[in-house]
Amino acid sequence: MPVSARVQPPAGNSGNVIRDSALGIVPGTLEPYLALNAAVWDAGPLPAAEVELARLRNARHTGCVMCQAVRYDVAISDGLTEEKVQMIRANEPDAELSPRERLLVAFVDQYNLDPAGMDDALRSALRDQFSEAELLHLSLLVAWFNGSSRCAVALGGMPEAMPRMEISIPR
């Protein structure tokens, strides 16, 4: 059963899914929000398909229906497939994921379940597969996506399900 929205979106329709959401009510914070979102995608060393895998795994934890339905076009262009999306949506990541992708999923799970409880084996495996810059980028993007998803869920009004939709990074 959908929860009543606690905040209504603005009356206008710009065609931009984020600008037209409740976030559009406060334009002074919306522009920096969009700029940071673009930087998370554009300015870090991780490829877009890996960023999207982390975003979607995070959405599984937060229960954000919209986040689970969205696919960013840059990730699809970078090779993200729906088969891979379904693998990371499962309780246990599929063995067909690369070792790096399985570690990315493990990191997102650890962040969501017990960020301070990372064991030495996971820490070592992450350092073997990811550079320091990539690990920092991964940490920042998971924090960003987690906060954004939780904000969307807390605002309420989401349907129980949404169809898959492809969007561009709002700017």
Q: Of the spans 9-13, 104-108, 154-158, 161-165, which averages the highest pLDDT? A: 104-108
**pLDDT tens for residues 14-51?**
877 778 877 788 888 888 988 999 999 999 999 999 99
In this prediction, residue 11 has a pLDDT band, given cuts at 50, 70 and 90, of confident
Cα distance from N-terminal residue to C-terminal residue, the chain: 32
Mean pLDDT, the chain, whole residue set: 90
**pLDDT tens for residues 134-145?**
999 999 999 999
Q: Chain centroid to CA 133: how far?
A: 19
CA distance 148 to 35: 14
CB 166 within 8 A of CB 71: yes
pTM score, two decimals?
0.90
Q: Supply the pLDDT for residue 24.
A: 80
